[in-house]
Amino acid sequence: MPTSVGAPRQLLRRLREVMAQQESAQARLDRVVVLIASNMVAEVCSLYLGRRDGSLELFATEGLNPGAVHNTHLKPGEGLVGLIAEQAEPMQFPDAQHHPAFSYRPETGEEIYHSFVGVPILRGGHTIGVLTVQNRTKRTYSDEEIEALQTTAMVLAEMIASGGLLTGEVSTEGRRELAASFTGLPLSEGVALGHVVLHEPRIVVTRLIAEDIEFERRRLLQAIEELTGMIDTMMERGDLARAGEHREVLEAFRMFAHDHGWRRRLDEALLTGLTAEAAVQRVRNDTRARMLRMPDPYTRDRLHDIDDLSNRLLRLLAGGVGTAATGSLPQDAIVIARTMGPAELLDYDRQRLRGLVLEEGGAQSHVAIVARALGIASLTQVKGVLETVEPGDAAIVDADSGELHIRPTQEVIAAYADKVRFRARRQAQYAALRTVPPVTLDGERIALHINAGLLYDLPHLDQSGADGIGLFRTELQFMISATFPRLEQQTRLYKAILDAAGDRPVVFRSLDVGGDKVLPYFRADKEENPAIGWRAIRMALDRPALFRTQVRALLRAAHGRELRLMLPMIADRSEFEAARKLIDREVTILKRHRRPEPKRLMIGVMVEVPALLWQLDKVLPLADFASVGSNDLIQFLFAADRGNTRVSERFDALNPAALKALRQVVEAAARHEVPLNLCGEMAGRPLEAMTLIGLGFRSISMAPASVGPVKAMILSLDAGALRERLDELLGSEKASLREDLRRFAAEKGVQI
């Protein structure tokens, strides 16, 4: 029974007419199977749909006993229909009754039919049903007939999922309806209960059947060319930080986008009568179904590349749809994305944003800094979450323990409601300490500062009761801006920061960009090792105009007040001297033009390059203060990239070698009577902060949310007793002193 090229298109047009009728869902399905049987010159056409228990139910038939509808159920994997659902691929049997998987059901009356062909009805690569055709004679169905049946199944899947045809007992998303749990790396601590919002919303394909095939081919070709052009341009420019992209992600996109097999399958889907959007959806479903069932884990990991590429193509076909930040958000949004840049996160309404979940990105990434500034519970490295969630799903982000729960049970929700109440009580206890000076039991006053980088951070200064801002990351303003911030813009920001701080000190770090902190408007060459490449003070000295503009803005903003400016990534005394000369030149220009000057100018050195550890006696006499950047210092000491999950856990900041290096800085600063601070992630964790105090640090800077817990630790600590214990422990050959320091805290009642 050959099927002409025009037959599938005619069937699709007639299906559209049926679905437009104002009648019951069952009546529509009954008419659909009649149409398919007629179009394929078949004696039987049956539609089976999956239920939430995994079984398949006969929902409509033409040719079988009508009494079998809703009364015939197949267990998962049972019969030829179950086999097709399980394998998620088309199958045909010229003599079905003699196949070992055949399951005889007397109520259907199908024993008189021999030839059988069935195709899975797919959504997101998961089988939600099976569409079958049968004939009395033993025969083999042509590839064209099977292709037509697959196209019809794809249209049915979209109509079933979006048209409200079925009862709540029917599963339209496979395993997406079940509770699911994931683990990830915390970006910003906290617990959030809310509902899923996809950062890049999935495009719902509503126009499935083409009016003009050639017009759809032109639309698709134009969208593919635009997509490949965008990817190639981003790869050539190297501005991956703008969208938070990783190079390997774009490489995967480019591989798929240029794949001839993928393009050929899209064209074949178009020829069956689908629109460009429906063709993309059809090929995505078929590809995902195959990849989900492959044993190779690497191949399965590429599923999200197919999804991302398809979504980008669908957005282009839809005219370029923006992110969810521009749409209407629920009151308790849990935003989920594959990856995201810091500027994109700032586009969201802070009053509605409760949590953030990323599939990719390091715990020290720039979006992580913004997430901590916003104070939202955030996780990264949550692999596979986008395959499982749907917009509107209930979700719980536990960034304290690194867990994500999708569609949680009532028991899980109740448990987390208790946890949220407990956290609220604990935060109230920390808030009560806001005005209490952080003094140890033996009378040591510890200065607690916050790290900042955005205007969003300013209220935290008062809320936390901090002594000041120990690190203001000036580069964040540059990273979230579409163009290089002009002198006036920079001046306004720095003045706002100083105004908010009042009499409290603010330490501005000069522009620390380059390496992995690529500005979207700044062309930079790809570097093999960006963390130790052309960045920070190195870029400032090579491009002095950028550095001098920032210094000029800081000097203007701080007129009549104290200005503290810290220079990052200093590896040699000569770099510090060269930077000071540029600063002195700007001060001279200010004096020459008789403009207001800062009341006091203090230039500090950031100790984060290990080479500086052996030059401290040469550099510290030139500096007005010093600050340890423990994040970089420790990753460089151990040659382990803190943003690389494969190696970031291979060392511990409480390793004796790292602690000896930190004590060396403390002793040198004391010798030269230079004020010293530490502004890395170590300072924000009570156990590590306790250790820093034992080493001799009396000023530390941290995320605002960490001030309360660290202050509670200080108030319960005897610094002298800890110093004595550390003197003993630093001679240890252990890879970490973490457990020894935990035991000390437990013995002495230190709150960590």
Does residue 433 lie within any of the structural domains?
Answer: no
Model confidence over 71-114: pLDDT tens digits? 999 998 899 999 999 988 999 999 998 899 998 888 988 888 89
User: Distance from CA of residue 485 to its chain's centroid?
Assistant: 27
Shared domain for 398 and 503, answered yes or no, is no
Amino acid 237: pLDDT: 53
Query: Looking at the domain assignment, is residue 454 inside a domain?
Result: yes
Question: Strands 44-50 and 115-123, how do they pair?
Answer: unpaired
45 catalytic? Reply is no
186 plus 303 within the same structural domain: no
Residues 506 and 634 both lie in one domain:
yes
DSSP 42-81: -SEEEEEEEBTTS-EEEEEEESS-GGGTTT-EE-TT-HHH
Choice among 126, 199, 304, 679 that is catalytic: 679
Residue 750 has pLDDT above 90, yes or no: yes
Span 286-308, average pLDDT: 68
Q: How confident is the model at residue 320 (pLDDT cuts 50, 70, 90)?
A: low
| Domain membership flag for residue 643 | yes
Q: How confident is residue 150, by pLDDT bands cut at 50, 70 and 90? A: confident
Chosen domain end from 277, 297, 317: 317
Is residue 447 domain-shared with residue 400, that is, in the same domain?
A: no
pLDDT (0 to 100) of residue 515: 57
Please choose, from the candidates 309, 311, 308, 356, the residue with its C-alpha nearest in 3D space to the C-alpha of residue 329: 356
Q: What is the mean pLDDT of residues 322-343?
A: 81
**Mean pLDDT computed over 279-302:** 73
User: What digits encode the pLDDT tens for the residues 219-249?
Assistant: 988 888 888 887 777 666 544 433 344 555 5
Residue 298: is its pLDDT beyond 50? Answer: yes
Taking CA atoms, 52 is separated from 26, 176, 286, 418, in Å, by 19, 11, 22, 30
Is 565 a residue whose pLDDT tops 80?
Answer: yes
| Tokens standing for residue 178 | 């079940």
Rounded distance between C-alpha atoms, residue 591 and residue 626, angstroms: 27
> Under 8 Å CB-to-CB from 465, ≥6 apart: which residues?
433, 434, 435, 436, 707, 711
Residues 614 and 552 in one domain: yes
Same-domain pairing of 165 and 187: no
Residue listed under structure tokens 């030829």: 80
Give me the mean pLDDT over the 447-459 stretch. Answer: 86
Asked, for residue 1, whether it belongs to a domain, the answer is no
Phi and psi based region of residue 549 (left: phi greater than 0; alpha: psi -120 to 50; beta: remaining): alpha
pLDDT of the residue at 168:
47
CB 127 within 8 A of CB 174: yes
Residue 109 contacts residue 131 (beta carbons within 8 Å): no
Q: Please check whether residue 686 is in contact with residue 703, taking contact to mean a CB–CB distance below 8 angstroms.
A: no
Percentage of residues of the chain with pLDDT beyond 90: 41
- pTM for the model: 0.65
- Looking at the structure, do residues 576 and 692 belong to the same domain, yes or no? yes
Looking at residue 170, the DSSP 8-state letter turns out to be B
| CATH number, domain with residue 529 | 3.20.20.60
In this structure, is residue 170 part of a structural domain?
yes
Residue 370 sits in a domain whose CATH number is 3.50.30.10
How does pLDDT run across 656-666, given as a tens digit for each residue? Answer: 999 999 999 99
End-to-end CA distance of the chain: give it in Å, rounded. Answer: 77
Both 608 and 663 in one domain: the answer is yes
Q: Please determine, for residue 605, whether its predicted confidence score (pLDDT) is greater than 50.
A: yes
Q: What is the mean pLDDT of residues 8-32?
A: 78
Please tell me the predicted confidence (pLDDT) of residue 624: 97
Residue 74: strand pairing partners:
56
Residue with the bigger pLDDT between 322 and 340: it is 340
Res 278 pLDDT > 90: no
User: How, if at all, do strands 180-183 and 403-406 pair?
Assistant: antiparallel
> Do you know the residue count of the chain?
752
> Would residue 91 count as lying in a domain?
yes
For the ranges 154-168, 371-385, 463-477, 657-671, the maximum mean pLDDT occurs at: 657-671
Domain that includes residue 673, residue range: 438-748
Pair 716, 739: CB distance under 8 Å: no
Q: Which amino acid is at 460?
A: H
Chosen domain end from 391, 424, 457: 424
Antiparallel, parallel or unpaired: β 185-188 and 126-135: unpaired
Distance of CA 502 to the CA centre of its chain: 36
431 domain residue, yes or no: no
Reported as type and span, the H/E element at residue 658 is helix 656-671
pLDDT of 1 > 50? The answer is no
DSSP string, 262-319: HHHHHHHHHHTTB-HHHHHHHHHHHHHHHHHT-S-HHHHHTHHHHHHHHHHHHHHHTT
Residue 474 and residue 415 share a domain = no
Provide the angle, in degrees to the nearest 10, between the axes of the packed helices 686-695 and 738-748: 90
Lowest-pLDDT range, 61-65, 174-178, 292-296, 367-371? Answer: 174-178
- pLDDT reported for residue 2: 45
Helix axis angle, 686-695 to 656-671, nearest 10°? 50
The region of weakest confidence among 180-194, 257-271, 725-739 is 257-271
CB under 8 Å to 723, separation ≥6 — which residues? 694, 696
Tokens of 588: 């001279």
CA distance 46 to 50: 13
Residue 168: give its domain's CATH number. Answer: 3.30.450.40
At residue 410, what are phi and psi to the nearest 5 degrees?
A: -60, -35
pLDDT higher than threshold 90 for residue 619: yes
Residue 549 in any domain: the answer is: yes
Give the span between the Cα atoms of 486 and 483, in whole angstroms.
9
251 and 342 in a single domain? The answer is no
Lowest mean pLDDT among 14-28, 144-158, 387-401, 453-467: 14-28
What is the number of structural domains in the chain? Answer: 4
- Residues 391 and 475 grouped into a single domain: no
Output the six-digit token pair for 442.
Answer: 């033996």
- SS3 label, residue 699: strand
Q: Which residue has the tokens 């990830």?
A: 184
Of the residues 126, 199, 366, 449, only one is catalytic, namely 366
Range 337-345 average pLDDT: 78
User: Pick from 381, 396, 424: which residue ends a domain?
Assistant: 424
649 and 688 inside one domain: yes
Joined tokens for residue 314 = 């669908």
